[in-house]
């Protein structure tokens, strides 16, 4: 995995531009284009959906006026529909999903979506044409349109929305725009406030560095003070240097100094060709560059009520989107039902770190929230918009 890709996941909720400090790490030499093809074929065959009422699709749908790629998989198309909103911006989960998702597909029809500017969708569209459209408003509108599309396509009034990292902010905002179409919202590594994320993560890294008398880490982190600083002073380089040390201290993947296992798993994805993998890095850089100014000021702390149940999956070691911020937010939230599930041996990439507990949480805590569909009145539909100040 290239240095830019590793830095991308490490620097924002899960992405940022490459910094010199992070880029110095030697990258594995790229393998020939077809080196992993036999392994991908084996995994594809093991994971093939063969049940009579199953569904296994990999295709584009028109969302926001452009083709956007989705994977739709499940043992029974009559199961509840679950939309997974990936992180980044620009970090698709589809190429990693083979490591954890197969069990989900026994209980849900799972939709992995490569967002505008990410992965396969980035490859399918011209970067120069997409760049001006990479705004928070457009991304949110895409997510709302995807919810509408899935409800119409599967004849459902409601679906489950799962968001992770950057996708947890995008997914929650979209759910609040379509509350009448949401059974429940699930946040994994929930992002509430980007600036607060930076403050808490920085304090954690500096505390660990001082406890270990890590002079290099102390020197580099203290050079950032005050951090995150005044609005307008938080640059890619400053974020990247902070992430260098939070990741080193296990904030991205618990008990590890990096998340290489996560990135390298993409090479074996049955749903990604080598050309798709090559589109991931440029898509991440494109997305983060365009969205960073808005993301730095993004804040969901003012959302104190949701018309649908909320389940949060939080890693005890997550200081990429620090769990204590999301825990405090959930404590203030009023919702029909709410639950926090702690993952004691995870940081930020929970489904890969603890796939069994993730599946159990979805089955025991989320599936029961999929109640008999009912038609929402106009009042409910507008309530979510009011919660976002619209």
Q: Pull the structure tokens for residue 283.
A: 């898509």
Alpha-carbon distance values, 179 to 64, 174, 388 (Å)? 20, 9, 12
For the chain, the average pLDDT equals 90
More confident position, 338 or 31: 338
Mean pLDDT of 65-75: 98
Lowest mean pLDDT among 224-228, 286-290, 386-390: 386-390
What span, in angstroms and rounded, lies between the C-alpha atoms of 234 and 309? 34
Q: Residue 339 pLDDT > 90, yes or no?
A: yes
pLDDT of residue 374: 42
pLDDT of residue 14: 53
More confident position, 52 or 2: 52
Neighbour count for residue 390 (Cβ, 10 Å): 9
pLDDT of residue 30: 58
What span, in angstroms and rounded, lies between the C-alpha atoms of 84 and 299? 21
Lowest mean pLDDT among 24-38, 44-58, 179-193, 375-389: 375-389
Q: Residue 231 pLDDT > 80, yes or no?
A: yes
| Domains identified in the chain and CATH numbers | 30-191+250-387 (3.40.50.1820)
Lowest mean pLDDT among 22-31, 112-121, 357-366: 22-31
Round the CA-based radius of gyration of the chain to a whole number and report it: 20
Pick the closest to residue 142 from 168, 114, 182, 120 (CA basis).
114
More confident position, 302 or 236: 302
Mean pLDDT of 2-13: 47
Q: Residue 21 pLDDT > 60, yes or no?
A: no
Which residues, other chains included, contact 122 with Cβ-Cβ below 8 Å and sequence gap of 6+?
Answer: 90, 114, 130, 279, 280, 282, 283, 286
pLDDT in tens, 316-338: 999 999 999 999 999 999 999 99
pLDDT of residue 375: 42
pLDDT of residue 381: 54
Q: Residue 376 pLDDT > 60, yes or no?
A: no
Residue 41, CB half-sphere, CA atoms under 13 Å: how many? 5
Mean pLDDT of 30-56: 90
pTM for this prediction = 0.90
What span, in angstroms and rounded, lies between the C-alpha atoms of 110 and 106? 10
Q: Residue 3 pLDDT > 80, yes or no?
A: no
pLDDT in tens, 100-122: 999 999 999 999 999 999 999 99
Band of residue 235 on the pLDDT scale cut at 50, 70, 90: confident
């Amino acid at each position: 995995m290239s240095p830019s890709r590793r830095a991308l996941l490490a620097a924002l909720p899960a992405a940022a531009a490459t910094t010199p400090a992070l880029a110095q790490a030697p990258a594995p030499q790229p393998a020939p284009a077809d080196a992993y093809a036999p392994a991908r074929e084996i995994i594809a065959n093991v994971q093939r959906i063969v049940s009579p009422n199953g569904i296994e699709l990999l295709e584009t749908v028109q969302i926001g006026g452009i083709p956007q790629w989705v994977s739709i998989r499940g043992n029974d198309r009559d199961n509840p529909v679950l939309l997974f909103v990936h992180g980044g911006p620009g970090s698709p989960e589809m190429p990693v999903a083979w490591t954890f998702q197969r069990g989900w597909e026994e209980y849900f029809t799972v939709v992995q979506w490569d967002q505008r500017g990410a992965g396969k969708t980035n490859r399918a569209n011209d970067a120069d044409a997409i760049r001006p459209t990479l705004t928070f408003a457009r991304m949110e509108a895409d997510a709302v349109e995807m919810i509408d599309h899935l409800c119409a396509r599967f004849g459902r009034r409601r679906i489950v929305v799962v968001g992770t990292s950057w996708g947890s902010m995008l997914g929650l905002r979209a759910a609040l725009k379509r509350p009448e179409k949401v059974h429940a919202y699930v946040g994994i590594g929930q992002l509430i406030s980007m600036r607060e994320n930076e403050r808490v993560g920085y304090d954690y890294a500096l505390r660990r560095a001082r406890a270990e008398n890590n002079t290099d880490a102390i020197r580099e982190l203290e050079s950032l003070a005050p951090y995150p600083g005044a609005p307008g002073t938080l640059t890619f380089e400053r974020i990247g240097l902070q992430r260098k040390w939070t990741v080193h201290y296990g904030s991205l993947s618990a008990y590890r100094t990096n998340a290489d296992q996560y990135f390298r798993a993409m090479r074996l994805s049955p749903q990604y060709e080598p050309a798709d993998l090559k589109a991931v890095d440029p898509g991440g850089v494109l997305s983060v560059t365009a969205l960073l100014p808005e993301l730095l000021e993004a804040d969901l702390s003012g959302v104190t009520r949701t018309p649908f149940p909320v389940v949060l999956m939080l890693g005890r070691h997550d200081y990429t989107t620090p769990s204590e911020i999301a825990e405090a937010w959930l404590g203030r939230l009023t919702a029909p039902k709410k639950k926090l599930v702690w993952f004691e041996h995870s940081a930020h990439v929970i489904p890969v770190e603890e796939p069994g507990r993730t599946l159990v949480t979805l089955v025991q805590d989320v599936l029961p929230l999929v109640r008999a569909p009912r038609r929402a009145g106009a009042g409910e539909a507008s309530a979510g918009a009011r919660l976002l100040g619209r």
